[in-house]
């Protein structure tokens, strides 16, 4: 089959690789209908995840059709159209039973954290979804069968695998409530969805920050948020503190390792003292109100030199983080889309054949061609 493979720093290649097979009795194979590129794939592309081996099949967002099932699979049948959450989760450990499927205790033999498709040995060494076929373990738990009468487009359903539940979890986990002022750092696909969901939760004011003008323009036009380019406004934290009268109730960081990196951070990252840029976390700390909440949903590396812990502590700020669980959120989010409570389609900017993955990664990385979410079709 064809698959997108990691070839080293800023290099991916569509290659012919061996088809996956059923390995365990509750595995299924799906024929991928559509897959997409996430900001997290860029962390691998940037070489920031050292446990990524050459030829790893990448990608963790897919919907498709069940092609083959293991002998113990009851939840889905051949031919079903399914949404595959980005996390690989068993369904019966403590974490899966307590709505933290992203920290499943069983699915990652390599480490103590949960697992995901196409995210290197760090997250369990599972093949990724940017391919013609995908092996899906624990098929009695995680796939969401799309009802036959569903009229939603595949590209929209695809957002349920990752970006939409991630944004929703950021809002829920950070405790956004009606009347709140919410600052969303990053206006990539995850940030844009987080802005939409902040309004739905009843926020009174939603403010977006990004260094890329077309992304801010998109946020302003479609999500009616106030926008700020932190590179053009040198005193942005002061400005934001002033206009919010002391800081936001909640600041949600949808940037993570995609953050603009300073020269010194590059050196620290190479020396493994630092897990890439920390600019967005610093902005979050500087713009949250006393007693407010910072939610990091952008993914961060392991170490951060000179992390300003005291600035968080002394102002009674709560710092929340983590990999978003998806499986338990799907029925509610599917219904929201079906009932037209939310329309996320505007964040899809490109639909390309899987063969053009190299080009797709290049424009997503360089923020070319007004790129937001890219869909790839095998």
96 touches, from ligand NAD, Zn ion, none (C-beta below 5 to 8 Å by class): Zn ion
Q: Looking at residues 136 to 165 of the shown chain, list those that interact with Zn ion (rule: CB under 5 A).
A: 162
Contact 189, 372 (CB under 8 A): yes
Report the residue from 254, 293, 317, 336 that binds ligand NAD according to the rule CB under 6 A: 254
- Coil, strand or helix: which one is 68? strand
For 212, the token pair is 């890329």
Report the residue from 93, 152, 212, 319 that binds ligand NAD according to the rule CB under 6 A: 212
Report the residue from 324, 330, 360, 363 that binds ligand NAD according to the rule CB under 6 A: 324
DSSP line for 90-108: -SSSHHHHTT-GGG-SSS-
Q: Taking CB under 6 A as the rule, does residue 61 contact ligand NAD?
A: no
Q: Taking CB under 6 A as the rule, does residue 190 contact ligand NAD?
A: yes
Report the residue from 4, 28, 63, 104 that binds Zn ion according to the rule CB under 5 A: 104
Contact 307, 296 (CB under 8 A): no
Q: How far is the CB of 104 from Zn ion (least distance, A)?
A: 3
Q: Which residue, 137 or 237, has its beta carbon nearer to Zn ion?
A: 137
Q: How far is the CB of 301 from ligand NAD (least distance, A)?
A: 11
Q: Taking CB under 6 A as the rule, does residue 257 contact ligand NAD?
A: yes
Contact 210, 233 (CB under 8 A): no
Q: Taking CB under 6 A as the rule, does residue 85 contact ligand NAD?
A: no
Q: Which residue, 122 or 255, has its beta carbon nearer to ligand NAD?
A: 255
* Residues in the chain, total: 378
Q: How far is the CB of 371 from ligand NAD (least distance, A)?
A: 8
What is the C-alpha to C-alpha distance for residues 175 and 167, in angstroms, rounded to an integer?
13
DSSP line for 129-183: SSBSEEEES-TTTS-EEPPTT--S-HHHHHGGGTHHHHHHHHHHHHT--TT-EEE
Q: Taking CB under 6 A as the rule, does residue 39 contact ligand NAD?
A: yes
Contact 72, 25 (CB under 8 A): yes
For 319, the token pair is 């710092």
Q: Binding segment for ligand NAD among 1-9, 106-114, 267-275, 296-304 (CB under 6 A)? A: 296-304
CA 96 to chain centre: 19
Report the residue from 64, 137, 279, 378 that binds ligand NAD according to the rule CB under 6 A: 279
299 touches, from Zn ion, ligand NAD, none (C-beta below 5 to 8 Å by class): ligand NAD
215 touches, from Zn ion, ligand NAD, none (C-beta below 5 to 8 Å by class): ligand NAD
Phi, psi of 348 (to 5 degrees): -85, 115
Q: Nearest CA to 59 among 158, 120, 128, 10?
A: 128
Q: Taking CB under 6 A as the rule, does residue 207 contact ligand NAD?
A: no
Q: Nearest CA to 10 among 366, 350, 278?
A: 366
Q: Taking CB under 6 A as the rule, does residue 162 contact ligand NAD?
A: yes
Q: Which residues form the interface with Zn ion (CB under 5 A)?
A: 38, 40, 89-90, 93, 96, 104, 106, 162
């Amino acid at each position: 089959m064809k698959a997108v493979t990691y070839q080293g720093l800023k290099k991916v290649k569509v290659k012919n690789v061996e088809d996956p097979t059923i390995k365990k009795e509750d595995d299924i194979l799906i024929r991928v209908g559509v897959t997409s590129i996430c900001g997290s794939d860029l962390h691998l592309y940037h070489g920031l995840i050292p446990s990524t081996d050459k030829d790893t099949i990448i990608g963790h967002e897919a919907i498709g059709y069940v092609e083959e099932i293991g002998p113990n699979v009851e939840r889905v049948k051949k031919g079903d159209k399914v949404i595959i959450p980005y996390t690989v989760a068993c369904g019966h450990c403590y974490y899966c039973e307590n709505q933290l499927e992203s920290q499943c205790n069983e699915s990652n033999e390599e480490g103590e954290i949960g697992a995901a498709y196409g995210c290197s040995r760090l997250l369990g060494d599972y093949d990724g979804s940017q391919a013609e076929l995908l092996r899906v373990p624990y098929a009695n738990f995680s796939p969401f069968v799309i009802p036959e009468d569903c009229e939603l487009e595949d590209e929209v359903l695809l957002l349920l695998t990752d970006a939409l539940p991630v944004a929703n979890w950021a809002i829920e986990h950070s405790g956004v409530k009606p009347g709140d002022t919410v600052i969303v750092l990053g206006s990539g696909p995850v940030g844009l969805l987080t802005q939409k969901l902040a309004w739905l939760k009843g926020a009174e004011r939603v403010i977006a920050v990004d260094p890329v003008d077309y992304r801010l323009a998109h946020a302003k036009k479609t999500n009616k948020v106030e926008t700020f380019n932190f590179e053009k406004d040198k005193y942005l934290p002061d400005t934001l503190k002033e206009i919010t009268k002391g800081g936001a109730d909640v600041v949600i960081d949808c940037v993570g390792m995609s953050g603009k990196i300073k020269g010194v951070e590059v050196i620290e990252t190479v020396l493994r003292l630092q897990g890439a840029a920390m600019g967005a976390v610093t902005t979050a700390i500087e713009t949250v109100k006393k007693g407010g909440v910072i939610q990091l949903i952008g993914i961060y590396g392991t170490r951060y030199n000179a992390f300003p812990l005291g600035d968080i502590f002394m102002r009674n700020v709560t710092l929340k983080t983590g990999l978003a669980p998806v499986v338990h959120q799907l029925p509610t989010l599917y219904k929201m889309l079906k009932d037209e409570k939310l329309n996320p389609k505007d964040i899809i900017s490109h639909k390309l054949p899987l063969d053009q993955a190299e080009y797709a990664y290049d424009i997503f990385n360089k923020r070319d061609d007004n790129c937001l979410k890219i869909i790839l079709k095998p």
